[in-house]
Structure 1
Amino acid sequence: MPFIGDQPDNCLRVQRAGAAVCLNVASLTAQGIQQSISEVISNLSYRDTAMKLSRISHTYGGVKRAADLVELVAFLRGDTLQLQTVADREGFISAFALDFIAAGFMLAFISGIACSACCRMVCDLLLRRRGRRHDDTAEKKQKRA
């Protein structure tokens, strides 16, 4: 039951996530409260979603971390530019140097193909020379005979 401030917005967010039922304080009745409580208790998806949101919250530091961030924003008087990460200011690709990584893989791939082609050329040349020598030796033996 949200009353003031950011509570209505927070209630709607949690309801959209599937972890709560929001009640309108202006049209609140005993029957409406009872139906909402019954809905939340009987429908296990509310419990599962609330547990999922709780795990996510704990992963990122839980309530203490959220309170610390709120205090930090208040201390900075709302100026949160220094809290932005490189990925916020730049695109995902350049923030994680994916363009350089892709260029490196492309260079390695092209170098591998070039080395393979060079090795094949050298091997072909060596085999041709060896084949000529072998053929020349066979011709000399036939001429002697």
Structure 2
Amino acid sequence: RAKVVGGDAISKAFLAATNRVGLSLNYDSQQLTDYRIGCVGTAFRLYKQMGEPLYCETMRLIVVAWEGKPDSFRASVLKGMMHFVELYHGEFSEERLLRALRNIHPVDIYRIGQDDPAKLRGWKKYVFPIYTAYNGKCRKDALPMKF
């Protein structure tokens, strides 16, 4: 918040990008409300790391899939979704991804990642549940594992 108020250009661009996709920042993470990102630090790091276009696309997908529910803005979900969209950009079907995401609760992405069934580390353990939900049991048009 201080960087935005202080006029930091990257922070202001991050806030503007977040607002453009219909979201706002929640600086009080104890107050979980719809369409507000509680893990501002994680979102800001991902914005700087991935760039504005990928950040906006991913946030839009999260909003559409889970209707802006607070659990969908957990750090684990943001990391998993950002890296999934980055890895498979131009390869995945948006319709299929949204259908898959609607069938998994955002908290399950965290739980599955913590259980770590594929023995993955870091952000990869949060991409895995999204990847498996997307591919499902169907081998037709399945995405290859790139992580």
TM-score of Structure 1 vs Structure 2, range by shorter chain: under 0.3
Q: Which has the higher contact order (CA 8 A, sep 6+)?
A: 2
Q: Give me the TM-score of the superposition, normalised by structure 1.
A: 0.25
Report the structure number with the largest CA radius of gyration. Answer: 1
Q: Give me the TM-score of the superposition, normalised by structure 2.
A: 0.25
